[in-house]
Amino acid sequence: MMRRSVLILLLLSAWLLGYAEVREQAVTYMSVDQHGDSIRLSGLLSIPDSAQGIILIPHYTIAACDESPSQKATGEAKAFRDNYVLLMPDYIGYGITCERTHPYLHGALTARNTVDMLLGLQPMLDSLSLGISLDSIYIVGYSQGGAAALWTLRLLEEEYADRIHVRQCFAGSAPIDVASIYEMALQTGRADMPALIPLLVAGTCEAYDIDLPLSTFFTPALERCYTRYIATKQYHMLSLYFRMPNHRLSHWLTPAGMDLSTPAASQLYRGLLRSSLVHYPLDGVGDSICPTWTPRSPLYVFHSTRDEIVPFLNAEHLRRCYPDVRTITWDLDRYKGHIGSSRIFFRKVRQMLDNP
């Protein structure tokens, strides 16, 4: 019995020592907000004793301030923390800017904030003598983070290709056609994650200075939930899922908010178009958006046809823009729902990094 206890103690000590080899710390850096004004942002920096490269990890959608990467390392970070330097920015509206409204799904801004974190911390990374450089950059993101990963890849290739080399980008279940997501919700009359509605409406109005009262879009039921749960930023997304169980869109959005012919909804829709990396109108009426940028770095795109939170049409529309681009690997299959597929995505990314 004594020998067994000593063995367990030795194994536990070895595990703790291994865990201690990774240093995680909250950091701050300078960037810009949606108006182009300077702003100090926060994030998480994770440093192992030896690193194979740097991974930028824009995070998935959160609702509470204590979900910010700088407050705690997420499962995303734990999947890669032993072998890579990790940079995980807090989006505007979280971390040290928690008092601000998060400009939800403003992909171009999130990309700028993510790249500024890399550039701002470069002197620190150089001083660590880990033998890595800006030629060893990977980008990994799922859900909102997947959209941010694509926007970040675009920014790096368009503006920083002469100094930063992206070895590979991994984007999972990315909401990149934000306008069509809104259109689809209006058509189906359903919202599988109701808490995303106020984040999207309030965040889009914040992102593009749309001066409309939220009561134009929010029913009394949603106004109450927004005041009690969402604006306080004290409740996690999972908690909000159970606190807002009604999936009927009309329970949350006013008739004006659900009618694209109204001035208010059409103004919001124009903002959603600005947040869309690609766009194909569901009714075939109106202009499509296909970026002039074509990915040059290897890009892995993952999406489940069973995703109930970020509709599969996002991946379909991206593929319509890039049907024959050889740098893109498409992994589009009947996996699980949005949450279950996230585990599959990160497991696959880990395997690809381990076996390049």
| pLDDT values of the chain reduced to their tens digit, one per residue, 356 residues | 434 433 333 333 333 334 446 788 999 999 999 999 999 999 999 998 888 899 999 999 999 999 999 997 666 777 888 889 999 999 999 999 999 999 999 999 999 999 999 999 988 887 877 777 777 899 999 999 999 999 999 999 999 999 999 999 999 999 999 999 999 999 999 999 999 999 999 999 999 999 999 999 999 999 999 999 999 999 999 999 999 999 999 999 999 999 999 999 999 999 999 999 999 999 887 789 999 999 999 999 999 999 999 999 999 999 999 999 999 999 999 999 999 999 999 999 999 998 87
Q: Answer whether 325's CB lies under 8 Å from 297's CB.
A: no
Distance CA 247, CA 254 (A): 14
Instruction: Give whole-number Cα distances, 230 to 64, 166, 269, 279, 332, in Å.
Output: 8, 36, 22, 28, 33
Distance CA 146, CA 57 (A): 9
Radius of gyration of the chain (CA): 21
> What pLDDT, on the 0 to 100 scale, is given for residue 82?
85
- Tokens 């959209």 -> residue: 147
Other beta carbons less than 10 A from residue 188's beta carbon? 12
> What pLDDT, on the 0 to 100 scale, is given for residue 111?
98
Distance CA 31, CA 42 (A): 10
Per the DSSP assignment, residues forming a β-bridge with 168 are 138
Q: Which two tokens stand for residue 174?
A: 């990315």
Amino acid making up residue 216: T
**CA-wise closest residue to 34 among 97, 87, 96:** 97
> What pLDDT, on the 0 to 100 scale, is given for residue 21?
65
Amino acid making up residue 184: M
Q: What share of the chain is helix, strand, coil (3-state, %, to 5)?
A: 45, 15, 40
Q: Answer whether 76's CB lies under 8 Å from 142's CB.
A: yes
Q: Which two tokens stand for residue 280?
A: 């194909």
Other beta carbons less than 10 A from residue 214's beta carbon? 16
Q: Which two tokens stand for residue 11?
A: 């194994």
**CA-wise closest residue to 134 among 167, 112, 158, 157:** 167
> What pLDDT, on the 0 to 100 scale, is given for residue 200?
97
> What b/e sequence results for 282-295 when a residue is b if at least 16 CB atoms lie within 10 Å of its CB, and e otherwise?
beeeeeebebeeeb
> What pLDDT, on the 0 to 100 scale, is given for residue 75?
67
> What pLDDT, on the 0 to 100 scale, is given for residue 3?
41
> What pLDDT, on the 0 to 100 scale, is given for residue 12?
35
Distance CA 251, CA 67 (A): 27
Q: How many CA atoms lie within 13 A of 118 on its CB side?
A: 29
> What pLDDT, on the 0 to 100 scale, is given for residue 8?
35
